[in-house]
Amino acid sequence: MKIHAIGDSHIFSFKENDNFIVHKNWAATAFKLGESEHSSRLRVLKILKEENIDKINDIVLLSFGEIDCGLHIYNIHKRDKIPISILIDNTIANYGKMIKEIEKMGFKICIYSIPPSQDTPDLWNLPYFAPLVVRVQIVKEFNEKLDMFCKENNIPFINIFSMVSNKNGSVSSKYSNFPIKSSKDKTHLNKKIVPFVLLKIYQAFKIKYIKKSLQNDV
């Protein structure tokens, strides 16, 4: 059995663990996954078609939404005067289309929660960049609603937020990572999160969890 991690750069955490196959990631948004001809949706489908994923034994872990929460939702909210809650609902609705499509294809699927934000500067030169306290609230609401969607559709939701966040709702220093040395980004998690995620996935799919499964973990 292998866990196929597909999505944005937050799947980096699993790269060195033998239980995971980390597929080439890209800066994809959850919102665009709902557009039938968008490159992000087509790329996910290409991975599922070409990577020889065993529908009986393997599990697909999707990781999308952090870019929406950290950048686009607030920017669109300020620019177009659309309430944040509505933007979150619309994003999850589009993400949900992709999730349901993959499930209908016969894959065993679970959804990775959005990790906490961190107090980073605006590296993207957006017209509107949310302060940390706002990004924290967006991530919390997004995770709550994504969890609700998953429950309604009997899809495992791997929620790591409370595990890796500090009292301010941002990333705990214990789990923070710097995969891009030239940037000040602190959002990505290190591999210390892997045993927790692995355990949650095994529990969700009722797979026997043994110490051997923790090879290469910290």
Which residues lie across from 170 on neighbouring strands?
117
Tokens of 95: 């993400």
Here the CATH number for the domain that contains residue 73 is 3.40.50.1110
For the stretch 96-142, pLDDT in tens is: 999 999 999 999 999 999 999 887 777 788 999 999 999 999 999 99
Distance (Å, rounded) from C-alpha 174 to C-alpha 171? 8
Determine the 3-state secondary structure of 111 from DSSP. strand
Tokens of 31: 């919102």
Task: Say what the pLDDT of residue 185 is.
Answer: 53
User: Do 2 and 20 form a contact (C-beta atoms < 8 A)?
Assistant: yes
Determine the 3-state secondary structure of 28 from DSSP. coil
Share of the chain above pLDDT 90, in %: 73
User: Do 109 and 163 form a contact (C-beta atoms < 8 A)?
Assistant: no
- Residue whose entry in the numeric block shows the structure tokens 């607030």: 74
Tokens of 156: 């495992």
Distance (Å, rounded) from C-alpha 166 to C-alpha 205? 29
Which residue segment(s) compose the domain that 95 sits in? 3-214
* Mean pLDDT for the stretch of residues 25-54: 92
Structural domains in the chain (count): 1
For the stretch 49-98, pLDDT in tens is: 999 999 999 999 999 999 999 999 999 999 999 999 999 999 999 999 99
